[in-house]
Structure 1
Amino acid sequence: METEFLVVFTLVILISSFIHGSIGFGFGLISTPVVALFTDIQTTITYIIIPTMIVNLVSILSEGKFFEALRRFWLIILLMVIGSVFGTFILVYYNSEYFKLILAFIIFFYLFQSLVKFRASFISDYPKSSTYGLGLIGGVVSGLTNVVAPLTIMYTLELKYSKKDTIQLSNLCFLFTKVGQVATFVYFGEFTSQAVQISFASIFIIAIGLYFGIKIKKKIDAKFYAKILKALLFIIAWMLVFQTVLG
């Protein structure tokens, strides 16, 4: 593996875990599209799947009341695991470069929704159906792109969940979908020894990023911080589009 890629990967993991620690989510949303600029989606996910699980577990535990949140959101989580296994099947069988366009679309959707304050009123009108939809569709999206936070954020905002509940749901869904994804990769023999080595070697970097991110959580200007992140995501999404279409 090229040294340049390892340097970039290390920096991406460090910055993404720092951001996640400071705002409670965002590791997969940031690290996945950036790493995907240098390789395919499947390789990207196998490299960051263990770091993703660790980051989400730390975030869940730092928010507290883990089992209470698990009891509250178990149905969504179960449906997401089922959806993620199906999405990972598709990823393994096709592993198309065009999956990067799906990732870019999810990012654009997240940015658009936050910009225009789009209201998904059908969620509050049909909460039960929306729960099933979020679980299965969100799981498939997570399996294909390693990103699900935009959907869970929209869901929790429409149902007027607290910030704590939003963070817990996003992290719980992400954590358990990654468990399903790991099982699927192992079943197909796609979780290589190189992916395992890179994943576990990055734990120290993640610990540093999370530590300092959580440290400044209450000291940052959240609104200004969010604007910078959204600008970066916008640029990254367009880079994915141009790379896929023109590459």
Structure 2
Amino acid sequence: METEFLIVFTLVILISSFIHGSIGFGFGLISTPVVALFTDIQTTITYIIVPTMIVNLVSILSEGKFFEALRKFWFIILLMVIGSCVGTYILVYFNSEYFKLLLAFIIFAYLIQSAIKVRASFLSTYPRSSTYGLGLIGGLVSGLTNVVAPLTIMYTLELKYSKKDTIQLSNLCFLFTKVGQIATFLYFGAFSSTAVEISFVSMFLVAIGLYFGIKIKKKIDAKFYAKILKALLFIIAVVLVVQTLAV
């Protein structure tokens, strides 16, 4: 494996976990598209799946009331795990470069929604159907792209959940969909020895990034931070589109 890639990967994991620790989400949303600039989506996900789980578990525990959140959202989580297994199955069999376009589309949708404050009123009008949709579609998207936070954020905002619930749902869904994804990867033998080694070594990087991120969580100017994050995501999404279409 090239030294340049390892250096970039190290920086991405450190920065992504730092941001996640400071605002409660963002690890997968940032690390996935950046690493995907250097390899395919399936390889990207196998490299960051274990650190993703660690980041989300720490975030869940730091927010507190784990079992209360689990009781509140268990049905959505169950549907997401099912959707994630299906998405991972598709990813293993096709592993197309065009899945990067799906990832870019999700990032653009998230940025547009947050910029113009589009209300997804159908979510509150049809809450039961919305729950099914979020679970299955969100899980499918998570399996294909390793990103689900934009969908859970839109869902919780429209249904007037608290900030704590928003963070807990995003992290719980991510954590459990990764469990389903790992099981699917193992079933199809899609984990390489390199992916396993990188995943476990990166846990130390995650620990460092999360430690400093959580430490400054209460001191940070969240609005300014969010603007920087969105600008970076926009640039990354554009590069993903250009890179994929240029192949």
TM over 0.5: yes
Q: How does 1:148-167 map to 2 (within 5 A)?
A: 148-167=148-167
1:178 and 2:178 correspond = yes
1:222 and 2:202 correspond = no
CA distance in 1: counterparts of 2:4 and 2:217, whole angstroms: 31
| Alpha-carbon offset, residue 25 of structure 1 | 0.2
Point out 4+ residue stretches in structure 1 off by more than 4 angstroms: none
Q: Which deviates the most, 80-89 or 190-199?
A: 190-199
Aligned to 1:142: 142
CA distance in 1: counterparts of 2:217 and 2:224, whole angstroms: 13
| Alpha-carbon offset, residue 84 of structure 1 | 0.2
CA distance in 2: counterparts of 1:226 and 1:67, whole angstroms: 29
| Alpha-carbon offset, residue 191 of structure 1 | 1.1
| Alpha-carbon offset, residue 193 of structure 1 | 1.3
CA distance in 2: counterparts of 1:112 and 1:147, whole angstroms: 16
Aligned to 2:235: 235
CA distance in 2: counterparts of 1:145 and 1:85, whole angstroms: 12
1:201 and 2:201 correspond = yes
Q: Name the SS for the 2:208 alignment partner.
A: helix
User: TM-score by structure 2 length?
Assistant: 1.00
Aligned to 1:115: 115
CA distance in 2: counterparts of 1:231 and 1:190, whole angstroms: 34
Aligned to 1:60: 60
Q: Which amino acid aligns with 1:109?
A: A
User: TM-score by structure 1 length?
Assistant: 1.00
Q: Name the SS for the 1:202 alignment partner.
A: helix
Aligned to 2:14: 14
Deviations 1:107-154, CA, capped at 9 Å, x for gaps = 000000000001000000000000000000000000000000000000
Aligned to 2:47: 47
Aligned to 2:27: 27
Aligned to 1:127: 127
CA distance in 1: counterparts of 2:181 and 2:100, whole angstroms: 18
Sequence identity of aligned pairs in percent?
A: 86
| Alpha-carbon offset, residue 192 of structure 1 | 1.4
Count of aligned positions: 247
Aligned to 1:95: 95
CA distance in 2: counterparts of 1:122 and 1:95, whole angstroms: 33
Q: Name the SS for the 2:227 alignment partner.
A: helix
Deviations 1:144-182, CA, capped at 9 Å, x for gaps = 000000000000000000000000000000000000000
Q: Which runs of 5+ in 2 are unaligned?
A: none
1:246 and 2:242 correspond = no
Q: Which amino acid aligns with 2:88?
A: T
Q: Which runs of 5+ in 1 are unaligned?
A: none
Q: Name the SS for the 2:80 alignment partner.
A: helix
CA distance in 1: counterparts of 2:168 and 2:62, whole angstroms: 10
Q: Name the SS for the 1:129 alignment partner.
A: helix
Deviations 1:67-110, CA, capped at 9 Å, x for gaps = 00000000000000000000000000000000000000000000
Deviations 1:184-241, CA, capped at 9 Å, x for gaps = 0000000111111000001111000000000110101110000000000000000000
CA distance in 2: counterparts of 1:191 and 1:71, whole angstroms: 32
Output the aligned Cα RMSD.
Answer: 0.4
